[in-house]
């Protein structure tokens, strides 16, 4: 386990390894999938058992919305609409922060920035990385939300 610059625990999950019942999918381009369940821990600490339901709902909303944002970015990129791409990246960036999808959040921020600066080629490269990162992270989040114990130990400090 690594620690972020802000002192948060980062669960870097190499291929085939995981924490508890959550197993990692194949990471994009040899990288590790970065997921920080600590981003969700505040809800558990503040709301207890009700927080677990909120966390599940938040993850399910993210999993339902992220593909639409990715599709919107891809269409905008192919149409040359960097303004639409920037808006979709900004929206996804916020959603990623709520569920602890730090690598996706960083990639979304990069797409947002490059779109704003009219750096089409770089925004397109980052979009490919973002799509691969989502495909790696999706099964982790699905398993995390489906765990009957819901990793309560991860939320205790």
pLDDT by residue (tens digit) across 65-85? 999 999 999 999 999 999 999
Angle between helices 82-99 and 49-79 (to 10 degrees): 160
Lowest mean pLDDT among 10-24, 76-90, 93-107, 133-147: 10-24
- The pLDDT tens digits of the residues spanning 80-99 come to 999 999 999 999 999 999 88
CATH numbers and ranges of domains, the chain: 37-155 (1.20.120.160)
Question: CB within 8 A of 124, min separation 6: which ones?
Answer: 77
């Amino acid at each position: 386990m690594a620690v972020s610059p802000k002192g948060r625990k980062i669960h870097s999950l190499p291929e085939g390894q995981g924490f508890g019942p959550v197993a990692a999918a194949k990471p994009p381009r040899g990288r590790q999938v970065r997921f920080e369940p600590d981003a969700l821990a505040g809800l558990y600490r503040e709301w207890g058992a009700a927080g677990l339901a909120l966390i599940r709902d938040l993850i399910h909303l993210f999993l339902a919305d992220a593909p639409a944002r990715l599709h919107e970015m891809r269409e905008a990129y192919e149409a040359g609409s960097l303004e639409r791409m920037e808006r979709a990246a900004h929206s996804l960036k916020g959603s990623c922060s709520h569920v602890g999808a730090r690598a996706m959040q960083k990639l979304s921020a990069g797409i947002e920035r490059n779109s704003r600066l009219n750096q089409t080629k770089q925004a397109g490269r980052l979009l490919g990385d973002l799509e691969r990162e989502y495909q790696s992270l999706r099964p982790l989040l699905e398993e995390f939300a489906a765990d009957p114990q819901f990793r309560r130990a991860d939320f205790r400090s």
